[in-house]
Structure 1
């Protein structure tokens, strides 16, 4: 593909004159029919990596994404730019309309789908009739990081690739250590030597990194109120507990006078959509959220991200703080820590495997599936794909070691004395850069006024949401997450 045509398409279809770092290299590799793993930071313009090639390749591009809201956001953006040959395959597509879409699936340039729906025989059959020129897996770290936890269907994407006659594959993520990169490729059945890797630094120099160490949860609550009083609007506060997110959202609103809402997978899809829109438009000044909030949130002026609880890994932490300061203006990433916080993540990560006798009785239909306990759905998934008890036990043991390693890395970040940014970069296999005054290790007496954060944006009063979006989300059944 000559560069002139590449830049012409960039200008004509997207209105840009230049590529961002990593974009051109990735797109050229895709157009050369290479399998590509692109690890680019949040805000690097990852959607362009498959949207531009779609206008230069025959057939369709299949994009696998973990969340309906994330897919819907991309579908809406494409349609707003005049693209009509775009479709999203999800549970809301039923009856006659579903059959009509499947009958003409090959006519669509962009096909968005969740990993779960790709397992359905009717979807498989329709896709086999299409010319899939590129298979895109968004949030590809789910193959490694989430596979054993929440979305085991990501582990079936290797079969999808083979079922579609092995089209070139583009794996996209914002964070992946060298170990996770290799794990992704191994689980997808790809030869590491033949995969083009486009890796850019996780470093976001405009984000100031800080840790607020407190003695207990009561002091942590008091400190959080203080921070919000000083920071004002334009931020996200992440929690590991839905219950506490609910409780503190109401309390923080009362204590600070800010408009604060709660967001997690336990509230309805329409409420999640409403909260997203209100936050995007500045009607909400802060959101208390679980990790379900953030993917697909294209808001470039988030001023701060606060973690009330210790994240389970530096991968998750970097993903979540990367939602701040996408306009390249100064932003704050603040992690609040009290002794013992890591036990919350250990409890959340724990998967209890019942006895071999119970598992075998469930397999023999002598006991119902719920006899497998709280993780019944996850365990049944592996059993249905041929895993035996010994293999399950070995996988969970290996996963337990990984959880401990990830928590140790998080605690290393919390206790860092020299440079938090260097700590993160080393974890991701990068050489640390010289970045004075980038974190509270360099400025232990730092103040918010030193960071020169942009002023909080005044709320925008605008209730006129697109009626089609309202209707779509009213009936949408969101995939489980967070």
Structure 2
């Protein structure tokens, strides 16, 4: 089969990126496939093009609503109408109608939590599934940085659906995580395509800065000088908004904040403005960038230290997808690691919350057999997030402990293990950002993923030497708010303000 012909026909590309053709060929040969492709190589095309060449429907499991929505919008922009995402953006009536007419859809996106619904499993079982895709497959592994308990059940889901042809995709998985993934899915025989996590066209730099104020000033200096467009990552929604305002006050044009707490319509508008060049800079949390298909992002700056090397690679991998020279800068101040520790702890239920829930169950023994009627009350009274509650509920429902007390003791052990894994990941990220100065940062990342550095890279990292001036732009080409009035941007900002005030 002439895959290049179909690539141009469906996507208007004339050549494949690294690993794409091999993965697609494996799928079309009817082989279960595990693919670890570096960020920016277009993993989604592996199942999209395969989908057009396979009979039956393509079911894609995705962990994030934003990623799911981005993929749906990209398919629709490419002219694909028979695509649906089952998520919270659909009303109950829309979900009901979509399930009723499920056979109309070629591409079906679902969260792993949605697959716990018997009605959805039943309807999927009545379809002809040509390919079962697990995106961000590292979420399956209990040793992974972003473990999701509902991902562990995907092996059982596959079995209920008749063990369809399966593709597992990830960009960042250590060998330990990969082995866990294989065991959980129970694929039997599979083809494996593991490529280096390295992106040689992205130069790596860490700047150690003594104070928050100095870090802010350095950020402004970088943004004024670097060739764009670019993304600045923050761990705080509030700081991302404050910094967007500050940059505008300093005369830097075409910048907006983006985070998961914003209205969906606002997020979509900002994404589209960035994709089409109406915005040059996004002050974002990690909610931004998954699935964003913008090839010319020239830099990614981290104002806050990420929680682990895996997500750091994911985020800097949004730069340089066109293969051209790009820059990743981490601005580090001593003590920055404390915020990731706090965030990691807040993602998990505290011991006090677990104790409260245990006492509640002791007093409401009827809920032990059927928790569903009491879920909202328990969550509200215990002050649990959706993720915290799903983790507790999943563990309690799956546990085979002899007593309620033993069940909760095991839950405490499990939560503590997760916290230790997260702390270990933060420490590894922190150590990567530190001296010794003689060790190449790229080499340290590759060593973490059990790889060797085999090629010499120009402008490799700050330890090997970077010519930062080569990433700078002429000041004449850098327009500020005082230089020109952009009516499109002004109108977009008015619309955003209007939407937020409603």
Match runs of 1:260-339 below 5 Å: 260-339=255-334
Shift of 1:18: 3.6
**RMSD (Å) for aligned C-alpha atoms:** 3.0
SS at match of 1:55: helix
Give the Cα–Cα distance (whole angstroms) in 2 for the partners of residues 200 and 147 of structure 1: 18
Is 2:131 the partner of 1:134?
yes
- Matched-pair contact (CA < 8 Å) for 1:212–1:336: yes
* Preserved contact between residue 309 and residue 429 of structure 2 (Cα < 8 Å): yes
2:424 aligned to 377, 380, 405, which one?
Answer: 405
Secondary structure of the residue that 2:250 maps to in structure 1? Answer: helix
Residue 190 of structure 1, CA deviation: 4.2
Cα distance in 2 for residues equivalent to 1:89 and 1:97 = 9
Of residues 211, 216, 224, the one that matches 1:216 is: 211
> In structure 2, do the counterparts of structure 1 residues 457 and 7 end up closer, same or farther at CA, with 3 Å as the change threshold?
farther
Instruction: Give the direction of change, closer, same or farther, for the CA distance of 1:45–1:360 in structure 2 (3 Å limit).
Output: same
The 10-residue stretch of structure 1 (301-310 or 377-386) with the greater mean CA deviation from structure 2: 377-386
CA deviation string 1:174-198 (max 9, x = no partner): 211112222323333445xx33221
What SS does structure 2 have at the residue aligned with 1:61? strand
1:333 Cα deviation from its structure 2 partner: 0.2
- Which residue pairs with 1:163 in the alignment? 160
d(CA) in 1 for partners of 2:35, 2:283: 31
1:80, distance to aligned residue in structure 2 (A): 4.0
- Structure 1 residues 355 and 261, CA, compared in 2 at 3 Å: closer, same or farther? closer
Contact 1:60 1:110 in 2 (8 A): yes
Q: 1:426 aligns with which of 447, 451, 461?
A: 447
SS of 2:43's equivalent?
coil
The match for 1:386 is: 398
Shift of 1:104: 2.8
Report what 1:360 is aligned to. Answer: 358
Q: 1:439 aligns with which of 458, 461, 465?
A: 461
Q: How does 1:17-416 map to 2 (within 5 A)?
A: 17-94=14-91, 97-144=94-141, 151-190=148-187, 194-231=189-226, 233-350=228-345, 351=348, 352-354=350-352, 357-364=355-362, 366=364, 368-374=378-384, 376-387=388-399, 388-416=407-435
Q: Distance in 1 between matches of 2:203 and 2:142?
A: 26
Note the C-alpha offset of 1:315: 0.3
CA offsets 1:328-378 (integer angstroms, 9 cap, x no match): 111110001111111111111113223765332333564834454445524
Q: Does structure 2 conserve the Cα–Cα contact (< 8 Å) formed by 1:303 and 1:454?
A: no
Is this contact kept in 2: 1:283–1:461, CA < 8 A?
A: no
CA pair 365-161 structure 1, distance change in 2 beyond 3 A: farther
Q: Which moved more, 1:348-357 or 1:211-220?
A: 348-357
Give the distance between the partners of 2:99 and 2:55, measured in 1 at CA.
19
Question: Cα distance, 1:232 vs. partner?
Answer: 5.8
Match of 1:390, SS state, is: helix
Q: Distance in 1 between the 2:61 and 2:381 partners?
A: 32
Tell me how far apart the structure 1 counterparts of residues 44 and 16 of structure 2 sit (CA, whole Å): 12
Cα distance in 2 between the residues matched to 1:179 and 1:150 = 13
Cα offset, 1:212, TM superposition: 0.6
For residues 375-409 of structure 1, the C-alpha deviation after alignment (integer angstroms, 9 at most, x for no partner) is 55244333452332233222222223322321232
Q: Contact 1:237 / 1:306 at 8 angstroms: preserved in 2?
A: yes
- Cα distance 1:429–1:384, how it changes in 2: closer, same or farther (>3 A)? same
The 3-state SS of whatever aligns with 2:398 is coil
Name the counterpart of 1:448.
468
Q: Structure 1 pair 362/155, CA: closer, same or farther in 2 (3 Å)?
A: farther
- Cα-to-partner distance string for 1:430-453 (whole Å, 9 max, x where unaligned): 11123253111122xx44323477
Greater per-residue helix proportion: 2
Q: Which moved more, 1:386-395 or 1:359-368?
A: 359-368
Task: Quote the offset at 1:113 in angstroms.
Answer: 1.9
Q: Distance in 2 between matches of 1:263 and 1:137?
A: 27
Assess, with a 3 A threshold, how the Cα gap between structure 1 residues 457 and 330 changes in structure 2: closer, same or farther.
farther
Give, in angstroms, the shift of residue 7 of structure 1. Answer: 4.4
What per-residue deviation string (whole Å, max 9, x for no partner) do you get for residues 449-476 of structure 1? 234779979899768x9xxxx9xxx9xx
Distance 1:136 1:356, change over 3 A: closer
